[in-house]
Amino acid sequence: MSTTTQVAPMRTGRRGALLLLLTLANVINFYDRTIPAVVVEPIKAEFGLSDTAIGLLGGSFTVVYAIAGIFLGRLADRVPRRYVMAGGLLVWSLFTLGGGLAQAFVVLFIFRLGVGIGEASYGPAANAVICDAYPPHRRSRAISIFSLGIPVGLLLAFLTVGVMVEAFGSWRAPFVIAAVPGFLLAAAMLWLPEPERGASEPKGASAPVVTERPYRSVLAIPTVRWLMLAGVGLQIPTYAVATFVVPLLQRYFGLPIGVASIGAGAILGLAGIVGLLLGGQLADRAEERAAGGRLLVGAVGFAVAVPGTLVALLLGSGSAAAFVVVFALGWTGSQLFAATATPAIAEVTTPDVRATAIALYFASFNVVGATLGPIIAGVLSDVLATPQPGLAADAVGLHRAFLVVVPLGLVIATVAAWRAARTLPQDQRRVAGAGDDGGGPLVRP
């Protein structure tokens, strides 16, 4: 069944307020998520953990996040999305607070799983809301602004968490402090000016309703499958770096936690901000010239990131400043993709399954990429640990793990993003064809 009913788009002022609130909540999302990565060393020391255990802490979080996100994404296609997002904010803030009070590793582990469930509600619903608020030719820029919450949240965490640990003399303080803004934003989210579903679709476009087997229908779209693989390739190194870059700067380059966290902020924060802003501008322009153009921007960014990060990792242990600068420059290329993937999914799906499709995309790269990234890095760090002159065994092992995980993941992402760009035009025509002839769902069950 299809419908050609047009709904009124949001006014510019309300649209801007919506994007601001969603972006602020995304900052808190990734700030809370990043805290454990900054305090790896004190947590490891207090509970007597190995790098493998630290990797499991991060990996288990993303498994729960991904699985919960599939169901919560489908829920966001059925109920007002502001309720889903507000509830998620409240839940993840409560569990963040609990993490700061945990007296045993198993308790901290459970609370971090709770944070994952809460945060799983947010990404699919928020991205779907933005796609309804902004027309196709402006979606990459809008998504890039929203996605700034990722590097800004990371940057703030890396700049402030280490300082808080030193100021309070405890790794627990950042967890407690970070919960407060989450509670405030949860209340504000209930007043979110939510757009109607399909409000910004092109005039005359129809929205085929897929009510049976929505997951199967989404997974039958080639572009979505290639984007999933690209996401896996990106998230393997992303979560490995996010989990272990502070320990790498401490162990291999000999920096104290405060300076190491600032260096990590430059890599994951500043590089992310520049990459997203650049990616949003380039992606929308490229898409105006050719279907699939925005995804080619992401593929080129990955291709540039491979040699850039590899050169940084080949620098010696006495080149901390050079490592941060060169790795950050290379890492900027990998961040272009974040501004391209969600708008591309919006182009090959209809509004009634958009949050579901985005949730499946998130789930794929979280279950595989974000879960395996820190686990693989942690295991490789332990397995490859051998002492060298002037370097402890765990420093050498972690550095070798980065040399394996980062380039390999980015190569996978490069190939998959390029393939997604090739399949997008045909999938886009399939959406338009289904609307023109009233042909029903994109893939019949």
Cβ atoms of residues 2 and 198 within 8 Å? no
DSSP assigned state of 335: G
Sign of the dihedral through C-alpha 65, 237, 217, 353: positive
Give, to the nearest 10 degrees, the angle between helix 222-251 and helix 354-364.
40
Task: For residue 103, give Cα distances in angstroms to 47, 58, 113, 239, 354.
Answer: 9, 18, 16, 26, 41
Question: Can you give the pLDDT at residue 7?
Answer: 47
* Per-domain residue ranges of the chain: 12-201+214-436
- pTM for the structure as a whole: 0.73
Q: How many CA atoms does the CB half-sphere of 5 hold within 13 Å?
A: 9
Among 379, 9, 24, smallest CA distance to 201 is for 9
**pLDDT at position 434:** 54
> CA 398 to CA 341: how far, in whole Å?
31
State which residues of the chain have pLDDT below 70: 1-13, 58-59, 198-212, 432-445
Q: Which two tokens stand for residue 326?
A: 């060169």
pLDDT of res. 351: 75
Write down the pLDDT at residue 11: 63
* pLDDT for residue 420: 94
Q: What is the pLDDT of residue 396?
A: 94
Are the CB atoms for 14 and 194 separated by under 8 Å?
A: no
If one looks up domain 12-201+214-436 in CATH, what number appears?
1.20.1250.20
Q: Quick one: how many helices (H) and strands (E) in the chain?
A: 19, 0
Q: What is the pLDDT of residue 13?
A: 63
At 198 the pLDDT is: 65
Residue 28 has a pLDDT of 93
CA separation for the pair 380, 109 (Å, rounded): 22
Please give the backbone phi and psi of residue 376, each rounded to the nearest 5 degrees, phi first. -60, -45
- Could you tell me if 361 and 229 are in contact, meaning their C-beta atoms sit under 8 angstroms apart? no
* The predicted structure's pLDDT at residue 430: 82
Nearest 5°: the CA angle 310, 254, 313 is 5
